[in-house]
Structure 1
Amino acid sequence: MQLTDEHKKDIERSIMECIINALNKDLISSKDLPEISSYVLPKAETITTQEEMITFLKELSVKWNIFSQVLSSENGEVRGQMESQTVDKVTDLVKSGKIDEALDLAKSVTADNQNTQQ
């Protein structure tokens, strides 16, 4: 899924807020900033899709756990978009009279959601 420039800027803003909060709470020091920025800036420039952003945020959170809340937020955003798209697909199938296909799709999404929550 393509990542809009606006959404990418929102995520970058969230990353900056995490850095500021972590500095204020002494979770990181100013000595950590060059390493963080040399990791974040080049990678962030190349990201164009939602999937790439999630992968980047996972890697970032592993290196510095202060960014885990950004990852959690983005995962929730992606899940919400996928659910909305699925609802649209199910609705279209029902309108087309493809009730069995709509039920199968709804069941598969429900099963996937239960598996990811466990």
Structure 2
Amino acid sequence: MAKKETSTDWKHQVARAERKSRLARMKGSDGHKKKIELRSVWKKVVLSILAVLIAFGLLVWLVSSTGLLTRSVTALTIGDRRLKASDLNIVIGNMTASEQYGLAFSEEFQKILD
């Protein structure tokens, strides 16, 4: 704010004049206030691409963390029976556990325990 230059100019009058000139500079040719925009088109493009990539990454993370693909994709077909990936995990897990239980009765495993 400018100081009072003469005894007839008051602070509020000077402030009003400064504000008026500042607003006049902000007006466009049609008399309305100019719209504040990003000056660079590249910023808009980069931010748009970044937003799409973040949304895509979030979607991939959501699908993988819920196990949707594991439950819905056919992993193995035997004859007319289709096994989903989750079913196959259970079958392979049971086979592995059975083999490990079978080791409990072998001589090698008994030596390891002793």
| TM-score, normalised via structure 1 length | 0.28
* Greater share of residues in strand: 2
- Select the structure of larger CA radius of gyration: 2
* Greater share of residues in helix: 1
| TM-score, normalised via structure 2 length | 0.29
